[in-house]
Amino acid sequence: MNTQPLNAPERCCRFLALILLLPLAWCLVSVTAWAESVGVLNVEKGVVKLRRGAQERFIQDKDGLVPVEVGDALHSGSGARGFVYFERENQKVAVYPGSMIQVKAHTEKTASFFMPLGKVLFSVLNKLRPEQRFEVTTPTATIGVKGTEFMVGTDGVSKTFLLTLSGVVSLVNPEFPNMETLVPKDQATVSHRSAPPAPPVVVPPETRNAVIKEDSVKSMEALPVQPQPAGDEKTSSKEEKSKEEKSGNEEQTADTSKEESSDGTTQDSGSTSVTSTTTSTSDATSATASMTSLVEAVSTVQSTTKTVETATATVNATCGGAAGCGRVGFTW
């Protein structure tokens, strides 16, 4: 083994080589650290919480561009708005205040997001290739696109709104998997937890602009797509049927009283007092029957209402484990 000390030129060469290799090593470390990032978050205003596993970080506009990885969950605070850019696939996600979204997957072939609450604008600027898939899932809908721009709003429990700004978007309620609704440009629909998606309707330009501009998810209530959930329709049908029965009973009672009164007037004057007594008795009987019918109708409505309330409470208590519904698990 050569143990002779290095001369000055050799030491100088090795020192210069070390200096030149350090930037290269730093670049390799940086590339490795960024290799798992699929996009970057830019907070325009307010504060956005980024959750990665058990770690949480609060991002502000002064923090600049922050890497986003698969599995990251974003929750925008009140008055906050942030943008996630996926440069490789030319995609952008605008997160409005009070919204939650998680990046479930993002590769060259698949982009998948879970949106439990709020309002988000998705921009897929490049047309997707046949083998590519872009999907957004909410508690009440699954949304797939083929290169477009669209907005999704959900209350996290019972309904999801969809407004298509360009291209065509498909929407499916998990409770009705065979009923796909295609929503073209400038049209909107809504998916309730207990009903198939509503037929798409054209949205006027002023309404579209207002929905895009407003921060709150409640602004999407202005979209002209408000079908009545199936459960409410059943309840209304029962109530209407009860009202019809009540109305029929009252009409029948009125007809009976009229007939008895008519019969009474045909008798002679000698039996006027008897006729009057008979008519009064008939009127009292009819009034009693009418009151009984009314009490029964009210009792039926109260019983139906109580049954619906009990069923609703049961569904809400068990909804967390049912397909197509759930409660928001994030906390601010």
* Domain regions of the chain by residue span: 37-227, 228-255+293-307
* 291-301 per-position pLDDT tens digit: 555 555 545 54
Of 140-144, 278-282, 297-301, 318-322, which one has max mean pLDDT? 140-144
**Average confidence (pLDDT) over 177-181:** 90
Beta-carbon contacts of residue 78 (< 8 Å; ≥ 6 apart) = 46, 97, 98
Tokens found for residue 83: 């943008």
Could you tell me the pLDDT band of residue 290, with boundaries at 50, 70 and 90? low
Q: How confident is the model at residue 130, as a pLDDT?
A: 83
Of 128-137, 267-276, 297-306, which one has max mean pLDDT? 128-137
Tokens found for residue 310: 């009990």
d(CA 173, CA 142): 6
* 83-129 per-position pLDDT tens digit: 999 987 889 999 999 999 999 999 988 999 999 999 999 999 888 88
Residue 15 has pLDDT above 70, yes or no: no
**Average confidence (pLDDT) over 276-293:** 53
Q: Which of 164-173, 210-219, 222-231, 232-241 has the lowest mean pLDDT?
A: 232-241
**Average confidence (pLDDT) over 216-236:** 69
Q: How confident is the model at residue 39, as a pLDDT?
A: 95
Q: How confident is the model at residue 236, as a pLDDT?
A: 44
Could you tell me the pLDDT band of residue 265, with boundaries at 50, 70 and 90? very low
Beta-carbon contacts of residue 138 (< 8 Å; ≥ 6 apart) = 114, 115, 116, 152, 154, 156, 160
Q: How confident is the model at residue 193, as a pLDDT?
A: 85
d(CA 74, CA 330): 10
Half-sphere exposure of 7 toward its Cβ, with a 13 Å CA cutoff? 1
- What residues are paired with 169 via a beta bridge? 145, 183
Its pTM stands at: 0.60
Q: How confident is the model at residue 89, as a pLDDT?
A: 81
φ, ψ at 234 (rounded to 5°): -65, -45
Of 120-129, 252-261, 273-282, which one has max mean pLDDT? 120-129
Q: How confident is the model at residue 80, as a pLDDT?
A: 95
Q: Of 140 and 321, which is predicted with more confidence?
A: 140
Tokens found for residue 288: 């009693």
Q: Which of 103-107, 131-135, 232-236 has the lowest mean pLDDT?
A: 232-236
Q: What is the dotted CATH code of the domain comprising 37-227?
A: 2.60.120.1440
